[in-house]
Amino acid sequence: MVKLARDEQEMLDGKQGRAKQRAMELLVQYADALGAERFVDTNNVHLFVGFHPYPEVVTPRDGDELASKFLLDTDERIEVDYVKTFNTTHIWAMDLDRWQVMEAPRELHELMEILREYSIRIGISLTATCTPYQVGNVPTRGEHCAWTESSAVPFCNAVLGARTNTEGAHSAFAAALTGKVPLSGFHIDENRLGTHLINVEVDVNNVMEWYLLGYYGGEACQLAVPVYNLVHKMVPNISMLKGMNSAEASSGGIMMYHIVGITPEAPTLDAAFGGRKPQVTLNYGKAERRKTYENLNCAKDEKVDLVNIGCPHYSLEQLRDVAKLLDGRKVHENVTLWIWTAYQLKAIADRNGYTDIITKAGAHLMTDSCPLNTNLFPGGTKVVATDSAKHAHYAPAIGGVEVWFGNMEECIDAAVTGKWRGELK
Ligand code: F3S
């Protein structure tokens, strides 16, 4: 049984209100299931609030009732005053401003509006992105966090050196209300050490290469902690690591990894393993890279209906690059081009003129959401092109579509010509 500190016991006893009491009830069950001995304080939560694509099963039209059902797991109507911690929110069920471009149902949009008002009232920050670290949520090394979103979790752990497990909607909301998270999993030093060694024998010097490496690593290591040892040293940037993290969390469930010389806890190979020997050693060479690429490309028809890029949400660097590629060009009349980013980065894209270029080309710069999580693909979509291994992994099963995977240039070429001409060089 988890041991409670005095403030935790007070919350559980209802001395700080019913909302915190319910949140502590959930957290105690969760901590016991995890075998956690105690809680640690957190002031950094990435919430999962505005993503409920099932309006037909939701009868209440009241923010408190909705949150009680979806986030506090009770039919009792519990009013929340104000959440305790700093927080950001994962994507919502639609672009909150351009929901009609997505052909989102009006009923679902109404639900989002109720949740939007509710969230603002109780102190939730409406970032609506899978990349909180791109919009001001940058925890420091060692900071205990409670983050949802599988692609953001390894970024938090392995790039920033902060600490989180992959939280669900309930546990994250409870953490935001109480400022507590069970001391378990990747909050504990020992669990963060490497288990599997991957010798990376090929160059990984662009975003697509990092997607491929991450997809291989996730598939090979599943829930373990891979240590990537780059034979040809290079320093990856945020766009590369963002893509890689989303890929490892798709083909597998990687939450923590090390890149020797890059991850804060892995200055050396020995440090990454804490002096232990790897349980498994793998080599990622040309053959593994080719096989990974082929696994991600399941389409047969070269004619493309939708080009979907920005999964995870594009960085400012990627928005600049895509605007340059589209400048003076036109999207093919039979193709839809959706580019996804965070609302806050779109504001900069607006100011920099990128949005104008993208719109003039006939593409849509979208925010807050993505078609994969909402299953809102444009009507009649059969073949999708993407530069995201995560999107390529899930789209066939979720959207019933065929997928081409390549780099940004190949995706823009497909959007303009209507045909896929990508290849692994
Ligand atoms: Fe983000 Fe949606 Fe991809 S949530 S990581 S754009 S599947």
pLDDT tens, residue by residue, 113-163: 999 999 999 999 999 999 999 999 999 999 999 999 999 999 999 999 999
Average pLDDT for residues 164-180, to the nearest whole number?
98
pLDDT (tens digit, 9 = 90+) per residue, 74-117? 999 999 999 999 999 999 999 999 999 999 989 889 889 999 99
Quick one: which of 327, 304, 310 has its CA closest to 404?
304
pLDDT, position 59: 72
CA of 208 to the centre of ligand 1 (A): 16
Compute φ and ψ for 31, nearest 5 degrees: -60, -40
Pocket of ligand 1 (CB under 6 A): 91, 130, 151, 246, 311-313, 340, 370, 372-373, 390
pLDDT band for position 333 (50/70/90)? very high
- Between CA 46 and CA 49 the distance in angstroms is 9
> Which atom of ligand 1 lies closest to the CA of 310?
6
Alpha-carbon distance values, 267 to 227, 264, 331, 396 (Å): 12, 7, 45, 39
pLDDT, position 107: 86
Kindly report which listed range (104-108, 204-208, 408-412) carries the lowest average pLDDT score: 104-108
Asked if residue 300 lies in contact with residue 402, where contact means CB atoms within 8 angstroms, the answer is yes
CA of 22 to the centre of ligand 1 (A): 30
In the chain, % of residues over pLDDT 90: 93
pLDDT band for position 386 (50/70/90)? very high
Residue whose Cα lies nearest atom 2 of ligand 1: it is: 370
Average pLDDT for residues 262-283, to the nearest whole number?
98
Residue whose Cα lies nearest atom 3 of ligand 1: it is: 311
pLDDT, position 11: 98
- Between CA 245 and CA 250 the distance in angstroms is 9
pLDDT, position 54: 65
CA of 341 to the centre of ligand 1 (A): 10
Average pLDDT of the chain? 96
pLDDT, position 53: 60
Residue whose Cα lies nearest atom 1 of ligand 1: it is: 312
- Between CA 249 and CA 217 the distance in angstroms is 9
CA of 92 to the centre of ligand 1 (A): 11
> Which atom of ligand 1 lies closest to the CA of 151?
5
pLDDT band for position 379 (50/70/90)? very high
pLDDT, position 119: 97
Ligand 1 pocket, mutate which of 308, 391, 393, 401 (most atoms under 8 A from CB): 391
Structure tokens of 125? 């920050």
CA of 95 to the centre of ligand 1 (A): 13
CA of 361 to the centre of ligand 1 (A): 24
Average pLDDT for residues 180-199, to the nearest whole number?
98
Ligand 1 pocket, mutate which of 51, 88, 91, 384 (most atoms under 8 A from CB): 91
Asked if residue 168 lies in contact with residue 175, where contact means CB atoms within 8 angstroms, the answer is no
Quick one: which of 312, 414, 319 has its CA closest to 373?
312
Average pLDDT for residues 257-272, to the nearest whole number?
98
Asked if residue 23 lies in contact with residue 11, where contact means CB atoms within 8 angstroms, the answer is yes
Residue whose Cα lies nearest atom 5 of ligand 1: it is: 312
Ligand 1 pocket, mutate which of 313, 376, 394 (most atoms under 8 A from CB): 313
- Between CA 212 and CA 280 the distance in angstroms is 20
Any idea what the Cα angle at residue 188 is, between residues 245 and 249, rounded to 5°?
20
pLDDT, position 57: 67
pLDDT of 375 > 90? The answer is no
pLDDT (tens digit, 9 = 90+) per residue, 8-67? 999 999 999 999 999 999 999 999 999 999 999 999 999 999 876 666 667 767 899 989
At 246, the amino acid letter reads S
pLDDT, position 55: 63
Q: How far is CA 18 from the centre of its chain?
A: 31
pLDDT (tens digit, 9 = 90+) per residue, 283-314? 999 999 999 999 999 999 999 999 999 999 99
CA of 9 to the centre of ligand 1 (A): 38
CA of 233 to the centre of ligand 1 (A): 29
Asked if residue 389 lies in contact with residue 215, where contact means CB atoms within 8 angstroms, the answer is yes
- Beta strands (DSSP E) in 2-96 are 39-41, 44-47, 86-89
DSSP string, 43-60: -EEEE--S----GGG---
Average pLDDT for residues 188-206, to the nearest whole number?
98
> Which atom of ligand 1 lies closest to the CA of 90?
4
